[in-house]
Amino acid sequence: MEIKKLRIIMNGVTGRMGTNQHLERSITAIIEQGGVKVSNDLIIMPEVLLTGRSEYKLKALAEKYGPGAIGKPYEYTTDLQGALDGKYGEFDIFFDASGTLQRADFIERAVKAGLAIYCEKPTAVETAEAVRLAKLVDDAGLKNGVVQDKLWLPGFRKIKMLKELGFFGKILSVRGEFGYWVFTGMDYDQPAQRPSWNYRSEDGGGMMIDMFCHWRYVIDNVFGPVKSLVSWGATDIDERRAEDGTPFPATADDSAYAMFLLEDGTMVQFNSSWCTRVRRDDLLTVQVDGIKGSAVAGLREVKVQSAADTPKPVWNPDIPQPIDFFAGWSDVPNNIEYDNAFKIQWEMFLRHVALDEPWNYTLMEGAKGVQLAELGMQSWKEKRWVDVPELD
């Protein structure tokens, strides 16, 4: 049995995504399960060095997650450049989950070190910059990837399965409702549950730049290529409280409404808001209406109604609604085990780096998400439909 080690610098890992999704639920989980088993003869095993600015936070993470995985704390350092220069041995991959506006500098440094690059989305807040970074890594001949986790949510996997089974027939429209109430931090004993930079455009925040990146790869991969869009954004709440307790003016859009017209004529709508209270099955629900059947996906569960099960409503507001609309749907069974979406993508990237397996989720694909967000902002500001050109 060969164990192929892939050494990874994990940068910005003290943040919300870096700690929860990448360090704990992906890399530590992969090590604890015994690596990525490729065959009876080969296992890919990640080995990590945690990097960031705060020594005590890195130490705490190293001590919390290392012992269960490798029997001792993970290695860590605040000297990222030293790590890139080989001070801590040779590495294969540089991963970044720092803030969006820090990403470019880190990617440039990792390119100079010649490492494969994997990072959180968005790669930048402007298309030109996202494309520049994608070309930089491509021109250097480095393997690279951007997190596109939603593709491996059980909800979207089931929608994809239903589509491939022909359950929908022709798909007519898709309607996504994303969001929940993000506390402002202004009220007594009601702290905010997301980082405050998300609400400051000068720090890379904003609903469109955050969520349209996701909607782009979800739409492209599950429903088809986007041709044009029209959107509207708003800063619904103009004051929030930062982590240090100081109130600040919210400068970024905290809600965004968009219609995406696909090349095949399908209409895909997404409402995204951090100022909405949930009365639906999940924080994200996506309804797909096809001629032969419809489905409503949450993050994990999907409910379906076929043409034959469709009730026949008659408009009559003078009587109580006689149909229980919720009763006419059935659950898509969980016939397989659905692993953490971030972890699945990590395993694919590790296999891509170690074995050269096919990989579609590159920085150039990530740049398409930034492009959709930038065009969304353009549509909003100019109050018009805009086309989505090919990226070059």
Ligand X SMILES: NC(=O)c1ccc[n+]([C@@H]2O[C@H](COP(=O)([O-])OP(=O)(O)OC[C@H]3O[C@@H](n4cnc5c(N)ncnc54)[C@H](O)[C@@H]3O)[C@@H](O)[C@H]2O)c1
* Binding site residues, ligand X, CB under 6 A: 11-12, 14-18, 52-53, 97-100, 102, 120-122, 147, 149, 195, 197, 210
**Nearest distance from C-beta of residue 323 to ligand X, angstroms:** 37
Instruction: Compute, in degrees rounded to 10, the torsion defined by CA atoms 34, 40, 41, 42.
Output: -40
Least separation, in Å, of the C-beta of 169 and ligand X? 32
Residue nearest to ligand X (CB): 15
- Cα 198 vs. chain centroid, distance in angstroms? 15
CB of 13 to ligand X, least distance (A): 7
C-alpha span between 268 and 275 (Å, rounded) = 21
Q: How many CA atoms lie within 13 A of 283 on its CB side?
A: 10
Hey, which bits of 59-216 come out as E strands?
Answer: 75-77, 93-96, 116-119, 144-146, 171-179
50, 66, 71, 73, 161 from 63: Cα distances, Å: 11, 6, 10, 5, 41
Closer CB to ligand X, residue 24 or residue 210?
Answer: 210
Given its phi and psi angles, is residue 79 left (phi above 0), alpha (psi -120 to 50 degrees) or beta? beta
3-state secondary structure of 15: coil
Single out the residue of 248, 98, 115 nearest to residue 184, CA to CA.
Answer: 248
Q: Three-state DSSP class for 98?
A: coil
- Shortest Cβ 105–ligand X spacing (Å): 8
Query: In the bound complex, what is the minimum distance in angstroms from residue 106's beta carbon to ligand X?
Result: 7
Instruction: Taking the CA atoms of 344, 345, 348 and 350 in sequence, report the sign of the dihedral they define.
Output: negative
Nearer to ligand X, 17 or 84 (CB): 17
CB of 356 to ligand X, least distance (A): 25
Rounded to whole angstroms, the Cα distance separating 173 from 167 reads 14
Answer yes or no: are the C-beta atoms of 114 and 84 closer than 8 Å: no
**Shortest Å, Cβ 186 to ligand X:** 20
Nearer to ligand X, 52 or 185 (CB): 52
Shortest Å, Cβ 214 to ligand X: 7
Angle, helices 103-112/127-139, rounded to nearest 10 degrees: 10
Residue 235: CB minimum distance to ligand X, A: 18
Q: How far is CA 86 from CA 12, 70, 108, 209, 292, in A?
A: 19, 22, 16, 35, 58
- Residue 74 vs 197, nearer CB to ligand X: 197
Tokens of 170: 């022709």
